[in-house]
Every structure is written in C-alpha cells, then in structure tokens.
Amino acid sequence: MFLIFFCSFITFVLAVVVMFVSSLVSKKTIIDREKSSPFECGFDPNGSARIPFSLRFFLIAVIFLIFDVEITLLLPLVSIADFSDIFFYSTTGLLFLLILLFGLYFEWYSGALEWSS
C-alpha cells in the first residue's frame, strides 16, 4: 500500500515539475502588437467593416463550391458500377453529367465566368 502511495506521489510531483518548467520556458518575452491582434480572413478587424468586396470573386467562389459539391455527388457512381444495372448506371451518370454541362454552359453564356467585363 505504501509503495502505491509513494509511486503516485512521485508521479504527481514529477508532473507538476514538468508543467512548471514548461510554463517558464514557453513564456514570450517580446510582445508584438501585430501577433497579439486577432486575424480574420485577411481583413483588419480594427478597420472599417464596410469596405467594398468584389462581387465577381464571391460569384466565382460560389460556382466553385457548387461544382465541388457536384463532384462529390458524382464520385460514388464509380463505386456502384459493379452492383447496379449497366443501363441504369449509364443513364444516371449521363443525366447527371448533362445537367452539370448545361449549368456550366449557362454560366458561361451569361458571362458569369469572365473575371473582367
């Protein structure tokens, strides 16, 4: 019983010493104003919140997000190819790709993919 108590006490003391030494070693001595200020998405949090934002950049980001989600919906078609009927598989895949291509053509035709107009 004494041996368990002694080992627990030694472990506790060793853990406290390691935590104390690591807190002393990791203290920052130089405080930089830029490093201690919050950083959010590249915008200055102390500046004006109503700065102009490029709508073209936002539109391209949304289009990328939509096509990214559509690709994640298209990838499982490869894994179910062995388990499904070839007619159903090819019809579903081609219909999905046609919808994607129609959406891409519509975005291209409406001029949403042009960065400068």
Give the tens place of pLDDT for each residue, 51-109: 677 777 787 888 888 888 888 888 887 787 778 788 888 888 889 889 888 988 888 88
Distance between CA 41 and CA 45 in Å, rounded?
10
> The whole model's pTM is what?
0.46
Tokens coding 70: 């559509």
Q: What are phi and psi of 40, to 5 degrees?
A: -135, 105
Residue-wise pLDDT tens digits, 2-55 = 888 999 999 999 999 999 998 888 766 666 666 666 666 666 666 666 667 777
Domain range list for the chain = 2-110
